[in-house]
Chain A
Amino acid sequence: MRGRYLSGLFLAASLFNASGNVSQAAETIVPGYQPRMDSDEAGLWLEADQLESALRQSPQHVADEALNDYLETLVCGLAGAQCASIRVLAIETPESNAFCLPNGTMVVQTGLLLRMENEAQLAFVLGHELAHYLKRHSLTHHEARRNIEGSMHLLWMLSGFTLLPKLLADGWLAAHDRDQEREADADGFNAAVGLGYDPRQAEIIWSNVEQEESANPKRSSPSLFLADHPTNKERLAAMKQRAGELQAQMQANNLGTEAFRAVILPLRSAWLEQEINRGEFSESIAVLQRLIKSDPGDGHLQYYLGESYRRRNEKGDNDRALAAYRAAIAGTNAPVAAHRSLGLVALKSGQKTAAREAFHQYLALAPDANDRPTVEYYLKTIGE
């Protein structure tokens, strides 16, 4: 049995190497490219066309004209000669992500836009996704998977029907995908810096991701063997080194902060609501604390920080929530709901006077609130 394992492993190495040859980089897409109708790639494009169509009709498709124009212009700049091949779709969903479909549809999720601090950071992320499209990574991934699965079936029989070949195949495919991610990191970085964006912003993105994920004790990372992305730490280090090299060579320091904020801030409140509705309150707190550093007087940010503490409800969170609601009310544009939430937490903390004042203030500011009977009910429970 031992001998069979060893020969299986040897054969696995041979076959994986062979299939690696098949999955070597496809040619970069040229303007106006269309796959041959009888090719695997045409099948991938057809699936992408169907997904694009579904997303366009989805209620989550963001119809905001200013946002769409802004994203189109940014992506067009990054794509250069390929601009005409790319369509951008903003999708309202709190997960932080963007991806480019094989047919050139760039999908940008609002959870990502919420987390970006300026245009430069967004350009690095979208440049990365664009590189996946331009280098046709979905095609090479598809071919690699098909070949490795064919090899795995034979190895599975030779190994005595154990899981070992599948584990090796998954690990090999993950390594293949990590290489694609590294290539997209490098290409996206170069595209953004080529447009004059501050190279240090790429490093800040990964630092922020690392900070947010480490705030959540429940979040687990896949093993290094099976992870299909390089680790955040690896990407952070690579971006830092590359930024250092470039800083010495050129004067790329554009942040694009004003243009970015002019488009994003009017939409941010709705995205904040969705962010805390993910139910990952420790991550939301990390995001909000970071955003508050740039906008300490923003009543919306402080309100949602308070909501995150209130709903996480860990030891000490009531006091933190109360402080955040009070900061929101003292700030600008605090939602009226900050008074109601302050009342709820004060009520739960036994601070009846504070609760009473907050509820009265809420009803004074929102006399027609549709939850008025409930607030009056709370007032009744504390003796009115």
Chain B
Amino acid sequence: MGIKLVSLFLLCATLAGCQSVAPNGPRIADVGHGIEVSRQAAWTVQEIGPPRGKHQYIWTVDGFALNEMVFTTGISRGDPIFPDPQDDYDLPVYHATMLPDEVMELVAASLRKFGYQQLRTDSLHPVPFGTATGFRFSFTYTTDDGLEMKGTAVIAQRGGLDVILFTAPTEYYFDHYLPMVEDVFASIRVFDVDVTIPACEFANALSLSFGCPTPKKTSN
């Protein structure tokens, strides 16, 4: 039995259009929703979408499924994290009142719908997301054929949900590319954001006093 890897790139490309972006393009990459990150030349980039007006970018070094970094940014309230225009996967959707724990559960539930087996999340903790605050967590899962995989993700709620996640086989690939992933996470810069004070998305939605400005109305 051959090893079959679950690739978000392959799933997303099936559900929406995709196009290559020149791998030798600018070292500063715009990944949507006012987010820029640094990109080393080793990353190859695919642009997926746009699902409902939003873009996804998927990067890889060795090939999609072997290692892939997915940027899905500016997710509106009531929308799923990943494109599913025909509701083939019955994906759960984002709500602005979600706490970071619940956003982590949303990411996990979405990946399970794509067939990620025995997925477990761990170590949710706040991290800088440019000048805003995001949350980071790790996860493990197995493919249909039992290959053990690892992932790490950063989420941020800032007038829409941003999710950046990296997955690779536990053996060799994940640890090998983790330093490059850390470089990308550390390089995140945010512009043109509606809310930059930490946790204001859910704090406003829950009417918590956290010094949050009144959110601007968006087209979401």
Contact = CB atoms under 8 A, between A and B. Distances in A.
Contact of B135 (A50, A274, A277, A374): A374
Contacts of B183: none
B125 A381 contact: no
Nearest to B212: A381
Interface stretch (B95-103, B172-180, B184-192): B95-103
Contacts of A378: 99
B112 A59 contact: no
A58 interface: yes
B122 interface: yes
A8 B99 CA distance: 61
B113 interface: yes
A54 B144 CA distance: 11
Contact of B208 (A59, A279, A371, A381): A381
Interface in A250-308: 274, 277, 279
Interface stretch (B47-55, B76-84, B199-207): B199-207
Nearest to B113: A279
- Interface residues of chain B: helix, strand, loop or mixed (majority): mixed
Interface in A40-54: 50, 54
A376 to B, nearest CB: 9
Contacts of B29: none
A350 B207 contact: yes
Contacts of A370: 122-123, 125
Nearest to B207: A350
Name the residue among B1, B97, B108, B122 with the largest chain A CB count within 10 angstroms. Answer: B1
B126 A381 contact: no
B146 interface: yes
Interface residues of B, number: 34
A57 B1 CA distance: 12
Contact of A374 (B101, B109, B112): B101
Contacts of B109: 277, 279
B118 A373 contact: no
B126 A59 contact: no
A14 interface: no
Contact of A57 (B105, B146, B148): B146
A15 to B, nearest CB: 36
A377 interface: yes
A60 B119 CA distance: 12
A348 B97 contact: yes
Contacts of A54: 1, 145-146
Given A279-B112, A279-B113, A381-B208, A374 B100 contact: yes
Interface of B: 1, 92, 95, 97, 99-102, 105, 108-109, 112-113, 117-119, 122-126, 135, 142, 145-146, 148, 198-199, 203, 206-210
15 contacts: A59-B148, A60-B117, A92-B118, A274-B118, A279-B109, A279-B112, A344-B101, A347-B206, A347-B208, A348-B97, A348-B206, A371-B123, A371-B125, A374-B125, A374-B135
